[in-house]
Amino acid sequence: MPGDTIWLHVGTYGGNEPVRFTSRIRGTEQKPIIVRQVADERATINGGILAEGEWTWFWGFEITNTNTLRRSNAAIARPASTSRVADIAPSTSSSTTPAIRRLACGEVGEGGEVAGCLIWGTGTFDTDRNGTRRGSAIYAQNNSGTCYIRDVISFRNYSTGMKAYAEKTHANGFHFEGNVSFDNGDRLLFVSGRTIRSSASS
């Protein structure tokens, strides 16, 4: 229910094989639902989280993928939400404040926030693109309100350290602050809209 906290106890969720978990839990702006690790325990998601709910915070636990197969077709073997964790879902709220705050990594949706994360080693060799290296620690799109990316350390990712990019939609209203990015395969920070003008501040 809105305002509840879901505690993750020590252990690896996903077992020996990576699993994509889909979260559809829905809090409210005043009463977000918090998913977090129990104090002094280590909870690990082996795979990824596809967050389709609203007003949910994912806080203070590890997300990884133990599958060593890095060559894959985008549609099989290593789903996008496990190689690039979708950690901030779109919000239907009209509020101009960040909809969701999570301490995790990956794709960022409308009005979301990523803060306090350590993100490294994301990426695949895409066999459907002649083995192209692809993998951004943060891949974000936004149109309304402000999307915050703050106090993130991002390194040794296959392509971009942090990317706010859209080909046919919007990459507007981004605020980057206090981030560190190094030793990535391509750009450290990339902000661009291919067909629609984009904006960001830092």
Q: For residues 149 and 50, which has the higher predicted lDDT (pLDDT)?
A: 149
Per the structure, the complete domain to which residue 39 belongs is given by 5-201
In angstroms, the Cα distances linking 174 to 21, 85, 179 are 27, 19, 13
Number of domains in the chain: 1
The secondary structure of 139-177, three-state, reads: EECECCCCEEEECCEEECCCCCCEEEEECCCCECCEEEE
Tokens linked to 23: 């979260």
The mean predicted confidence, pLDDT, of the chain is 75
* CA 192/CA 178 separation, integer angstroms: 20
Number of other CB atoms surrounding residue 143 within 10 Å: 14
- Report the share of the chain in percent with pLDDT over 90: 13
Query: Are 135 and 123 spatial neighbours (Cβ–Cβ below 8 Å)?
Result: yes
* CA 122/CA 174 separation, integer angstroms: 22
Q: What is the pLDDT of residues 16-26, one digit of tens each?
A: 888 888 888 88
Query: Are 139 and 163 spatial neighbours (Cβ–Cβ below 8 Å)?
Result: yes
Q: What is the pLDDT of residues 27-84, one digit of tens each?
A: 888 898 999 999 999 998 888 887 788 888 888 888 887 877 776 665 444 444 332 3
Confidence of residue 167 (pLDDT cuts 50, 70, 90): confident
Q: What is the pLDDT of residues 85-106, one digit of tens each?
A: 333 332 233 222 222 222 334 5
